[in-house]
Amino acid sequence: MNGPVILVIEDDPAVRRGIVDVLEYAGYQTLEAADGHIGMEMALKAHYRLILLDLVMPGPSGFEILAALKRKRPGQAVIILSARGEENDRVRGLVHGADDYVVKPFSMKELLARVDAVLRRTCERAAPADERRLPNAQVDFRLNTIAHDDGTTQELSEKEAQLLKYLLDSNGRIVTREEILRNLWNLDPDRTQTRTIDMHIMHLRTKLGQQNQSLLTTIRGKGYQLHAGGVA
């Protein structure tokens, strides 16, 4: 079985078993978590393409797992599975990074169609590459290095690498300091006065060889924008 790996986080054993059986019959590989504690650990550490995520379960909730994914694995493909069909819950899930929301009870045929659609839609971002191309340089996130085309190499700290990957995954979008503080440093920007983001941006520019800000731009009053040219 060589299909994409799908992580199913669902506390109801009968529902989880039914989902796993249908996915495996359709050719997918599966991982399972029976509560929020195991689900959180697997969501952040396991290798998979898509999560099917229940909202209400023992331990961390589905919303808490979504928040952790947004910080640690931005761009991860997620479908929420929940009996909570209220509009506020659906909107909250989608705003916090879910790609789709399926309300229980659902047919397995519908679920497979949603899975297939999300995998097609997110195929380019669901498994972030360990290596990324920048103008005149190659970034290796396994080694946390930037190899420039002139033969020089710069080492990145863990936080510099996380910041660079986050900016790359933003695909040219302006990223605010508040967003970076919240998602990478896990700090409340309303209660934090720090210049650590500015220092890390400055260090990144130096290591990218782009002190003139042609690659990593400060947008006054808004945040930062990485112009990577759309290359992977």
One of 3.40.50.2300, 3.40.50.720, 2.60.120.260, 1.10.10.1100 is the CATH number of 5-121, namely 3.40.50.2300
Of the chain, the percentage scoring pLDDT greater than 90 comes to: 45
> pTM for this structure?
0.54
Of the chain, the percentage scoring pLDDT greater than 70 comes to: 91
Q: Report the topology of domain 131-226.
A: Arc Repressor Mutant, subunit A (1.10.10)
Q: Which among 109, 39, 31, 110 has a CA at the least distance from the CA of 100?
A: 110
User: Six-digit token pair at 68?
Assistant: 């952790």
- Report which of residues 120 and 212 the model is more confident about: 120
Domain range list for the chain: 5-121, 131-226
Per-residue pLDDT reduced to its tens digit, 45-88: 888 889 999 988 999 999 999 999 888 887 788 999 887 666 67
The residues near 67 (Cβ < 8 Å, ≥ 6 apart) are: 96
Residue 162's CB is within 10 A of a number of other CB atoms, namely 21
Whether 211 shows a pLDDT value over 80: the answer reads no
Per-residue pLDDT reduced to its tens digit, 79-125: 998 876 666 777 777 777 788 988 888 899 999 999 998 888 765 44
Residue 6 and residue 52: Cα distance in Å, rounded?
Answer: 7
User: Six-digit token pair at 196?
Assistant: 């650590």
